[in-house]
Structure 1
Amino acid sequence: MRIILRFDERSLARTRHVLLSAARAHGLDGTRLDDFLLAADECVVNAVRHGGGEGRVVLWCADGVLICEVSDRGPGIPERVLAGTSLPPSVEPGGRGIWLMRRLADEVAFTTGPGGTVVRLGMRVSPPARELAALDAQPGVTARPAGSVLVGRGVLGEPLVELLHGDVPEVQVVLGDPAE
C-alpha cells in the first residue's frame, strides 16, 4: 500500500492524522511512533514554510522500513544548512528541524536544488507489517481493497476514505507495489 497526499498550510492537521494512522497501521508505536511523527512533521512544516507553501507526502513500507518521502517545489536547502550536524545555538531562530530529523529517524536522505527538495525518512518496523493485516488489527478498523481505494473505518472512528479526503487537497491510497 502506498499513500500519496498533497498538503498545504490549511491541511497540516489532517496530514498529521493521516501520518499517525498510517504509521500505527504499519506497526509503529510508543517512542518509535512519536519519533517518526515528529520527524515527518518537521519535513511537512519545512515544506510549507520554506518550500513554496505546499508539498506532497508519499508513504509506503518496503523491506521492514516505513518510508515517508516529503517533496516541495521551493528554492532548495542551502548546502551550509545540510552540512551542519550540530544543534544550532539557542539564540538562533529556527534551524532545528533538520537536526531533529537526523536524530529521530533511522534513515534520512536529502535531495535538493533550485527545483525543490525531497526528504526521505526511513523508520524500521519490527516485525514487518502487512498493510491490510495491520489495518485490520487496529481497534475499530475494518479494511478491504476496493479498486485502488481503501475502504474502512480509521482509528479515530472516522471512515478511512473520509479521513483521507477531508481537508487534504489530494490523496491517493494505492494498494500494491509502491514502485508501480
Structure 2
Amino acid sequence: MSDDGTNYASHLASGSGSGERDAATPVLILGQPFDRGSLYPLRETLHAHVVHAGLPYGRSVDLVLTVHELATNVVFHGSGTGQARIWQLDGVLRCEVGDPGSSDYDTAAWPVKHGHGLWLARYLPDRFTIASGPDGTLATADFALPGPGSHRSATPRLRRLDSHAVLELDGALDEQAAPQITAAVGELVSGTPAAGLVIDLSAVTYWDSTGITALIVAQQRVAETTAGMLVLTGLAAEFAERLDALSPVPFTTRETPAKAVHLFPLP
C-alpha cells in the first residue's frame, strides 16, 4: 500500500486556467458532505453517479464500499463530519474522502483488520493513498474505467487433460462470470476425487471483488477434495499482489498452464 498525500485532482484543477479540457483535466461529478446521519444517502448517491460515469456494476459496488468505509472512519474515528468527492479524469474515477477537522489525527490509528471493511478499502481500489496535513486528512482511491471492449464478461471454458483440468477465462472476471466459474468448478470436483485444476487468467481484461470471491471459493472447493490442487496462471504482478492481500489463504501460482503441468501427477 502506498500512503502519500498527493491530491492529484486538486493539483490538476488548479492548473486548468482555460475553458478547454483535455483527458487529464479532472471533472467533479460528485461533491457531498456527510456525517453520521447521512452515510446511507451517501452510498445511494455514489452508486448512481459512478454507474452513470461508466463504472461497471461490480466495480461500482467496490467503490461504494471503499468510500463508505473511509467515511465511516471519519465519522467514528475522526472529527465526525467530512466531504466526499468523485472526480473523473483520464480513464479513472478518483474518490477523495476528506476530514478537514482532523489535521492532527493519526491515520495509522484507524482500526485495520484482515477481511474487515477498512482492509478492503485499502486493497479494492486500483490505487490508494492517505495522509494528514494542515488542511486535514485526505484519503484518495482510484478506480479505473474499463477500456473499449474490456468489459465483456468472461465465459469459462473447461479443458480436461490426463492429469488435471484447465479453466480458461477470456474477458472480465466480474459478477456475471463468477457464478459460471463456481458452477464449472463444482462440476469438476463432484466427479473427481482428486481434483487438479488450473485457472488461466492470462486473458482476463477486468475484474471486481465478486470475481475475486469466485476464485477464493474455487480454491476452497478444490481443497476439500482428496489431494486436490488449484493453480492460478497468467496473473499480472499487481493483480497477484492484490489477490494475495484479499484472500484468506495463499494461492499457488505459475506463469503459464504449461509451467503448472508438473504439479499434477499422472493417474
Pairwise TM-score range, normalised by the shorter structure:
0.5 to 0.7
Residue 105 of structure 1 aligns to which amino acid in structure 2?
P
> Alignment partner of 2:143: what SS?
strand
Shift of 1:113: 4.7
TM-score (normalizing by structure 2): 0.40
> Alignment partner of 1:110: what SS?
strand
In structure 2, the residue matched to 1:38 is 65
Q: Which runs of 5+ in 2 are unaligned?
A: 1-26, 149-267
In structure 2, the residue matched to 1:55 is 82
**Which is greater in Rg?**
2
What RMSD over aligned residues (CA atoms) do the two structures have, in Å?
A: 2.5
Q: Where in structure 1 do 4 or more consecutive aligned residues deviate above 2 Å?
A: 74-82, 113-116
Shift of 1:38: 0.7
Q: Is the 8 A contact 2:47 2:61 kept in 1?
A: no
The 5 Å alignment of 1:19-38 reads 19-38=46-65
In 2, Cα distance between equivalents of 1:98 and 1:114: 24
Match for 2:131 among 93, 106, 111? 111
How many residues matched?
119
Q: Is the 8 A contact 2:86 2:94 kept in 1?
A: yes
Q: Percent identity?
A: 32
Q: Is the 8 A contact 2:107 2:131 kept in 1?
A: no
Q: Which has the higher contact order (CA 8 A, sep 6+)?
A: 1
Over 3 Å counting, the alpha-carbon distance change for 1:9 and 1:79 in structure 2 is closer
Q: Which runs of 5+ in 1 are unaligned?
A: 89-95, 129-180
Residue 140 of structure 2 aligns to which amino acid in structure 1?
R
The 5 Å alignment of 1:18-167 reads 18-72=45-99, 73-74=101-102, 75-79=104-108, 87=114, 96-113=116-133, 116-127=136-147
Shift of 1:29: 2.1
Over 3 Å counting, the alpha-carbon distance change for 1:35 and 1:13 in structure 2 is same
TM-score (normalizing by structure 1): 0.58
